Amino acid sequence: MRFENRLLFTHEATRMATQRYVLSIDQGTTSTRATVLDARLRVKGVGQQEFTQHFPRPGYVEHDLKEIWATVEACVGKALKAAKVKGTDIAAIGLTNQRETTGLWDRKGQPLHRAIVWQDRRTSQLCAHLKARGEEPRVKATTGLVLDPYFSGTKLRWLLDTVKGARARAEAGDLCFGTIDTWLVFKMTAGAAHVTDASNASRTLLMDLASLDWDSGMLALLDVPRAVLPRIAPSAEVYGVTRGMKSLPDGVPVSGMAGDQQAALFGQACFSPGESKCTYGTGAFLLMNVGSEPVASTSGLLTTVAWKLGGQTTYALEGSAFIAGAAVQWLRDGLGLIKKASDVEALAKTVKDTGDVVFVPALAGLGAPHWRPDARGLFAGIDRSTTRGHLARAVLEGVALQLQDLAEAMRLDSGRDLPAFKVDGGAVKNDLLMQFQADILGVNVVRPRNVETTSLGAAFLGGLGVGFWKSPEDIRKAWKAEKVFTPKMTQEQRARHLGKWRDAVKRA
């Protein structure tokens, strides 16, 4: 080894030895969370902050990109303070994000419009028009997705067509499109990196699942200029280094990213085909690892990239329920039935069952396997005996029932039974919900010790990107179950619940 190379190697080893922590940034739909973890994946400090939800008209949901960035800066500072570590102690940063939410900004980092959130339905008419033209089979074959307002491509089309001057500037290369991961890396690197990873790109309606590149046919279909698109990168590599941040020194590698649901699959150590997880957040998302080849769905599920590490791509089947924790937030904020989200379990326990009340959580349409953007939320079976407790319990059961639909579709598409149902996210602390989920699925529901597996997955990808960890097997060793919920419901009881549920879904 040449002398100067030995010096460089020694310097790098010394630097890594003094940087003993990884920073995970989880930018979600309602809040931002930063977590500092050590080499054994122990949480050392956390910072979290909610931000404003904008609803300018029915069906429209928006976020302020500048406010999101401000929460990232604030949360990183809080996490470092809570962990009692310095920014210079951070070896790598991993990012995970609400996925299809769509931003558009100029090369100086100035947003042209508020971001259009994944829940937003403003492009329903465009999606219906393209379906009527017979475009959906081609879209699904190329991207693994369906024509639904959920995804980024039609949102970007709306921005380019609606914001004055946006299309011309995009075609000239003056603008940047991105999902939230792209926005954060752009800001963290002071505009040096305009990049996304394959997992997030697979949610745009614009990427070819086979080539992992932007598809010319999809760009033409949605009238999106290639010049506005970010580079598609693996889920673990150094995309750039921090520059000009308030909460971190310059030079910290930003080295891992994945969409929130793929990061949770990674954080749940679902590295083998057939392993699956469900994350309960604002929405609920069931993903199954299907290996190195995409599996086409015939049951209304999505085919997506789970992650790309080095030259190896892992694919997943996904079912998305748009409303989960958001239904509990609605009970709190819209109906005033509870003061805080955690009160819902106690209220639901005031009754022994729902009193035959069924809730369909279609507050933002129905996702897989139904794909009905026109569906609306519904309480069925209400009478004079219905109480607040019945409504609360029906909301929790409605969340679980829609996931049963997804699990059944996944069994059909994959040809595999779910060996267990690994769960994560804030709502899994609700024992009543988890027990009903096990009952209605007829399989064990497994809750890990660390339910914030989205943050865990992002941290691990960031560490892998700089060699802080060497192998995904390190996370499998660290994963531990906290509680297993076993099914207690009889087949007859399950059939009765499912019959009432399916009748209600038809009416939603």
Q: Is residue 482 part of a domain?
A: no
Q: Is residue 385 part of a domain?
A: no
**369 preceded by a cis bond (ω within 30 of 0):** yes
pLDDT at 138: 95
pLDDT at 18: 62
Per the CB < 8 A criterion, the answer to whether 267 and 235 are in contact is no
Q: Is residue 67 part of a domain?
A: yes
The list of the chain residues with pLDDT below 50 reads 1-16
Q: Which helix (H) or strand (E) holds 69?
A: helix 65-83
pLDDT at 321: 87
**What's the N-to-C CA distance of the chain in angstroms?**
70
pLDDT at 371: 80
Tell me, what amino acid is at 274? G
Can you read off the two tokens belonging to residue 17? 């030895």
Range of the domain at 84: 3-261
Per the CB < 8 A criterion, the answer to whether 188 and 93 are in contact is yes
Question: Could you read off the pLDDT of 141-185 as tens digits, one per residue?
Answer: 999 998 989 899 999 999 999 999 999 999 999 999 999 999 999
Which of 199, 234, 237, 242 has the alpha carbon at shortest distance from 465? 237
Can you read off the two tokens belonging to residue 99? 């996925």
Angle between helices 152-162 and 124-132 (to 10 degrees): 110
Tell me, what amino acid is at 7? L
Which of 271, 292, 294, 506 has the alpha carbon at shortest distance from 413? 294
Tell me, what amino acid is at 349? K
Q: Which helix (H) or strand (E) holds 485?
A: strand 481-485
Q: Is residue 352 part of a domain?
A: no
Q: Where residue 22 sits, what CATH number does that domain have?
A: 3.30.420.40
Per the CB < 8 A criterion, the answer to whether 508 and 362 are in contact is yes
Q: Is residue 410 part of a domain?
A: no
Question: Could you read off the pLDDT of 460-481 as tens digits, one per residue?
Answer: 999 999 999 888 887 788 788 8
Can you read off the two tokens belonging to residue 115? 């971001």
DSSP for 371-398 reads: -BTT---EEES--TT--HHHHHHHHHHH
Q: Is residue 305 part of a domain?
A: no
SS3 label, residue 484: strand
Side-chain-side CA neighbours of residue 381 (13 Å): 19
Q: Is residue 400 part of a domain?
A: no
Q: Is residue 65 part of a domain?
A: yes
Number of domains in the chain: 1
